[in-house]
Amino acid sequence: MKLEFSKKNILIAGGLALFICISLIVALLFFKEEGGDLRSGEETGQDKPFDPEEHPGMTEAEIKEIRGAPDELTARHSLDRKRILTQEAEDYRQRARFPHYSLPISRQNDPVRNEFTPSQPLTRHPDQPNGPFMVQYLDKNSFEPNEPLVIHAFLLNEEKEKLEARDLQATLTIGGAAGRVLANLDMRDDGSPGDTAGDLIYTASFRLPSDLQQADARPTNYVVIVKSGKMIETNAFSVGYLNIAHTGNYSDRIEADAKGNHLTVDVEFNVKRAGSFHLQASLYSLEGEAIGWAQNRVNLETGKQTISLKFYGKLLCDARVSGPYILKHMAYMNVAAMPGVRSQLITDSYRTAEYLPAQFTCASFDDPEYMARAAQAEHDAQEAGQ
């Protein structure tokens, strides 16, 4: 009886083992028929799906080219990152040579002239490639609420000659076409206020409603929409009270400090209402060579006040041009509330005393912020190259 029980157990165990083997064989056959493989993509050599976020700056073709060569991929990324960081560090060191408030400029890249000269964009319609074309522009970049808001426009033919226009219209809005419409005017060339009769430059002169002219009115962005036939163009500008006026008085001196020295130009203003103001100007040689730009933002009380512009000495040392120097372009803004209200561009307003380049420092300013960024970029570049 004992022997029979053992044989029975053996038969049961053998049957179970045979069933498991058959099940495994069937499962393997089914997996291969479905195109599967028990090994991972890395083990089979098959390509993974391309993930652009995994390899920034590289195309799918580049990834496939070096697929299976992770060391080469890592090396390429390291070299690219090291090169970028090294260039970044050099850019920071170049930027650190001058303080943020006083930078070198060129005649083509004069920030004061470029920012404060009203633009005259040319508009064309795709259905009219040969014209007419439309040009529109403002008298100035900012207006005070109690003065006329004047905009001009004219049409040109293919030879860029002015044309007579009968359908030029201007619409004054707050916020553009989807905002509040204040007025619609036909633009005229008849000598009305702000216009010169017969020059084929057409003018619209708007007046704000009395509720928008209050002394405490906040600065506001306005948009004028100009239309002629199929051509439509917009021009945005700020309206607000400047509350500061230049008196026309200046003085200049060399001012020494821990970094070396500056050519300091003091500009006098009459402040009508206390606030925050920003002044900037570009300095040129008598021969018209652009030397540098300076800016200053200050809080002022009412009455006669002075804003100082500091041109870092290295600007004049590098220029190697003797003075007198000219404040070629100057402009100021009321920035107590945004959008800031701008003055008009003031040109050739002041001539300094005589100076020699040798009187000014040639040392780099070594701006702490940019020097720190340069050091960090150099550190990261070293780590990337390891």
Q: What is the residue extent of each domain of the chain?
A: 102-113+242-359, 130-239
The answer to whether the Cα torsion of 285, 288, 292, 295 is positive or negative is: positive
- The answer to whether residues 191 and 197 touch, using CB atoms and an 8 Å cutoff, is yes
Q: Which pLDDT band holds residue 183 (cuts at 50, 70, 90)?
A: very high
Structure confidence at residue 366 (pLDDT): 93
Q: What average pLDDT score do residues 201-223 get?
A: 92
Nearest to 309 by CA among 250, 245, 256: 250
Helix/strand/coil for 77: helix
The strand ranges marked E within the chain are 102-104, 122-123, 133-138, 142-143, 149-156, 162-163, 169-174, 180-186, 202-206, 220-228, 231-239, 244-257, 260-271, 275-285, 290-300, 303-312, 325-334, 341-342, 346-351
Q: Please check the confidence at residue 177 and state whether its pLDDT lies above 90.
A: no
Structure confidence at residue 16 (pLDDT): 54
More confident residue, 330 or 166: 330
Give the architecture-level CATH label for domain 130-239.
Answer: Sandwich (2.60)
How many other C-beta atoms can be found within 10 angstroms of the C-beta atom of residue 186? Answer: 11
Render the burial of 317-343: b for 16+ CB within 10 Å, e for the rest: bbbebebebbbbbbbbbbbbeebbbbb
Q: With helix as H, strand as E and coil as C, how does 117-157 read?
A: CCCCCEECCCCCCCCCEEEEEECCCEECCCCCEEEEEEEEC
Structure confidence at residue 34 (pLDDT): 46
Structure confidence at residue 51 (pLDDT): 53
**β-sheet bridge partners, residue 138:** 151
Q: Alpha-carbon distance 252 to 270, whole Å?
A: 19
303-312/290-300 β-pairing:
unpaired
pLDDT digits (tens, 9 = 90+) for 337-382: 888 899 999 999 999 999 999 999 999 999 999 999 999 988 888 8
- The answer to whether residues 362 and 262 touch, using CB atoms and an 8 Å cutoff, is no
Nearest to 231 by CA among 139, 128, 121: 128
Q: Which pLDDT band holds residue 130 (cuts at 50, 70, 90)?
A: confident
Q: What average pLDDT does the structure give for the chain?
A: 84
Share of the chain above pLDDT 90, in %: 63
Contacts 24+ apart (CB under 8 A), 111-117: 111/280, 111/282, 111/293, 112/280, 112/281, 112/282, 112/293, 112/329, 112/330, 112/331, 112/345, 113/282, 113/328, 113/329, 113/345, 115/331, 116/141, 116/329, 116/331, 116/342, 116/343, 116/344, 116/345, 117/345
- For 293, what's the count of Cα atoms within 13 Å in the CB-facing half-sphere? 20
Structure confidence at residue 66 (pLDDT): 47
More confident residue, 133 or 29: 133
Least confident of 43-47, 174-178, 216-220, 254-258: 43-47
Structure confidence at residue 339 (pLDDT): 86
More confident residue, 125 or 80: 125
Residue 98 DSSP class:
S
The amino acid occupying position 85 is: L
- The answer to whether residues 353 and 252 touch, using CB atoms and an 8 Å cutoff, is yes
Residue 83 DSSP class:
H
Residue 328 DSSP class:
E
pLDDT digits (tens, 9 = 90+) for 269-294: 999 999 999 999 999 999 999 999 99
Q: Which pLDDT band holds residue 22 (cuts at 50, 70, 90)?
A: low
Name the CATH code of domain 102-113+242-359 (choices 2.170.130, 3.30.300, 2.60.40, 3.40.50): 2.60.40
More confident residue, 41 or 358: 358
Q: Alpha-carbon distance 286 to 324, whole Å?
A: 7
Measured CA angle at 115 (ends 114, 119), to 5 deg: 75
Share of the chain above pLDDT 70, in %: 79
Q: Please check the confidence at residue 38 and state whether its pLDDT lies above 70.
A: no
Q: Please check the confidence at residue 119 and state whether its pLDDT lies above 70.
A: yes
Which two three-digit tokens encode residue 255? 């001012």
Structure confidence at residue 237 (pLDDT): 92
Do 130-239 and 102-113+242-359 fall under one CATH topology?
yes
How many other C-beta atoms can be found within 10 angstroms of the C-beta atom of residue 300? Answer: 19
